Structure 1
Amino acid sequence: MLRKVLPAVIKTIGIVIIVGLAVSWFALLAAMFYGSPFLDFVLPGRAFFSYLGAFNLFMIIGIPLFSIVLGILRMFFQTRLSKGWRTALGIFWGINIAGFFLSAALVGKEFEFDGAVTKVNTPLDITSDTLEVSMFSKDYDTLFGIDDDHVKLTENEFVFDNIAVSIKRAEGSEFEFIQVNEARGISTQLAQELAENIEFDYRIEGSHLFLPAFLEVTKAEKFRVQEVNVTLLIPEGKFIRIHRDVARHQGEIQKKDTENSVWASDGNVWVMEDEGLVCVDCD
């Protein structure tokens, strides 16, 4: 009885493994399909190299999976691929490895240098002793449902939240706002130009500072890891109210309070003392 059942069980296990590997391969293919529009923002006009690299990566992973499937077929079903086909697969795999590293090198050069530009360094024109800070964003018509708290993809824009907010003590008696833009590029000059062109349209209403929650990059502008670093300087003895939506943009915090987290604030008020922030109304 066991001799009759065991081969069937082994073959079933083999089939399950093959199906699992096939599902993994198609999942990789689906991930590459949904991620492919992003490549148009990396090398606009030259996306061929990005697509070639993605295809090479797919084959680099896929051919070994296919070889495992062939091994299972040979083990359980006594089928065998000819030596010529095995050799051809090996050569094709090697070509894809070479193609992937060539594409990676070409794309990597586009990110080789970094550049930073101080866009804003100015006092904030508010009369209150309390600066209130929150984020704002707009609705996007996204592709393939690529829409979460960190990344969004539309037909014409790559949207991401590469924004950091730091809070430190001011030397003077005024609230101050410093904005430093950063980007990468094929040269330092180009990186600085890309950093200079980052749009970051914050606004002030009374004593309330609204910061954009996302940066937007078009295909013409290219994605080069653009980043905006905002530093808020708070005078000693004055206050800052921090909304919860600022938490995921945390930068450096000068803080004296060891019991409460600035980034856990949900509208809490903090006072700037000589050594840093202290929460006024935290439970």
Structure 2
Amino acid sequence: MSDPNIYHLRYFLDAANLGSVAAAAKKNHVSQSAVSQAIRKLEESMDCSLIGHSKNQFKLTSEGLVALESIKQILDSVTNMKAKLAGAKDEAEGPLTFATLRSLALVLLPEAMSTLQKNYPKIQPVLKIGHTKNILEQVIAGEIEVGLVVDNRAISGVHKHVLHEGTFRCVVGSAFAENIKNMGFLVTEEKPGVNELKRTYKERYKKSQAKIAMVVESWEVIARFASAGLGIGMIPDFVAASVPDLKLIEVHHDLAQKIRYKIVLITKKSLSPNAKVLAHELNRETEKLFHK
């Protein structure tokens, strides 16, 4: 029997994090049977059951939970090794001009930039804050090297490096959960998900139209307004995960989970050494945020 390889570990980790074999297969562009076989080989190698083999449910066993933590450490070590090898080949130094959304800057960048400055002091970062449309335009025009944005499926003409695939959440303050029937939605009109919300709401409730209580051009403000009972906030999961102090609870779960998005790095050409370092640190931050 052959030892498990890096792909077996990756497929198992993705299946565990995403909650299904199908989702892991889609993420890695392989068949579901390839993911299932990888997990079986891991189980054979470890001589234990890592998942409960019940129909239509993916659930880790106690051994699976232990294995998951070890596999995270192994793959993180591999990622660090790759970054170090890349650094040995092309030293990261000089300016790195990039732009991002305010929401992503607040959630992902503080720790990522702290580590980047500590480990790569020769990089000189220049950060701009903007909206997806003007960030895309700046990347295409060569005014900035990298854009960190939420992909609303209208981004084209650039290279994309996916950091995270997630879903939106419909949230309210826990003190106002009993009043959701009388609440409208708090949304960002020009950002991804609003049209999908209106469509799925109409499909779910037939003749009903989603009531928009307020248009607010900030997901963080929407989270705080929802916490105060001003409406049902529609925000991405990365924003919801970053504000535990607001004591938000999820509602309309069946609607929000259908609305998906991606956090992506966009560049005009392949990643430079400096951009690779940024991508590495952002990958670490998204892993920490979503897979604690």
TM-score of the superposed pair, with normalisation by structure 2: 0.21
Structure number with the higher strand fraction is 1
Name the larger-Rg structure.
1
Structure number with the higher helix fraction is 2
TM-score of the superposed pair, with normalisation by structure 1: 0.21
